[in-house]
Amino acid sequence: MSEFRFKRFSVRNELSSMKVNTDGVLLGAAVTLEPVPLSVLDIGSGTGTIALMLAQRLEGRCRIDAVEIDAPSAAEATENFAASPWAGSLSLHHCALQEYMPESEYDLIVTNPPYYDASLKNPDDRKAAARHSDSLSFDEIALFAQEHLGSAGRLAMVLPSDSLNVLLRTVRSRSLYPYRLLSVRTTARKAPRRVIAEFSRSRRETLQEELCIMEEGRYTDRYIALLKDFYLNF
């Protein structure tokens, strides 16, 4: 059985179309949780890793829903939720986001969305759906957030840096505005390859931050501090 062990929970990711990955882990560890959300939605949950990380950070003090369209991934995420210390706070909904109708608004919506637009599709249809944005576009995510975020709610996404301008134009068309952009570099000499983008309904000065993962062949102190509550080797 394929299993990824964190300090306080384990993630089975044998069947999921997308395995535990750095993008999702960074989003789960770095997304702003002030003010503390009482309701969270994880879109495209996969193995449930992001939802589980948020449950740990919030100590199960909020309701966390997760939406996953892929049946094997949804089943695996459900098992991962049930085996965690926060099973009572986590719920998995096996459906497309376009079909999901929540009963109430969310304080926080997070997603590690599909982002390959023009690349050749993976012959594995499940992996293609997980990776290609024609299965779930930025605009569909932004529209859902516009309709289902509370008045002070926030949308947070992790995506390739070269997709950021497209995302910014899209979310602005849905009356959502950036308030934090965290650019992620592998090393100081390389251009940022990922960005964690957070949005709200309010126009404000955007907080610009940067995270470097490696320095002189070692993980940086900031990266270790960000993930020390999760990774076994930190």
* First and final C-alpha spacing in the chain: 24
Per residue of the chain (234 residues), give pLDDT as tens. Answer: 689 999 999 999 998 888 899 999 999 999 999 999 999 999 999 999 999 999 999 999 999 999 999 999 999 999 999 999 999 999 999 999 999 999 999 999 999 998 744 443 444 454 444 443 457 999 999 999 999 999 999 999 999 999 999 999 999 999 999 999 999 999 999 999 999 999 999 999 999 999 999 999 999 999 999 999 999 999
Q: Which of 134, 130, 123 is nearest to 15 (CA)?
A: 130
> Has residue 68 been placed in a domain?
yes
> Has residue 183 been placed in a domain?
yes
Q: What is the signed CA dihedral for 56, 14, 125, 111, rounded to 10 degrees?
A: 10
CATH number of the structural domain spanning residue 109 = 3.40.50.150
> Has residue 223 been placed in a domain?
yes
Residue identified by tokens 């096996």 is 94
Which spans in the chain are helix H? 22-30, 49-57, 71-82, 125-131, 138-148, 164-172, 221-227
CA distance 157 to 61: 22
Element (H, E) at 202: none
Angle (nearest 5°) at CA 159 between 153 and 162: 125
Residue identified by tokens 């706070």 is 89
Domain containing 122: what range? 3-227
User: SS3 for 153?
Assistant: strand
> Has residue 95 been placed in a domain?
yes
> Has residue 234 been placed in a domain?
no
> Has residue 59 been placed in a domain?
yes
> Has residue 232 been placed in a domain?
no
Question: How do 3-5 and 10-12 pair as beta strands?
Answer: antiparallel
> Has residue 113 been placed in a domain?
yes
Residue identified by tokens 């882990």 is 25
- The tally of domains found in the chain comes to 1
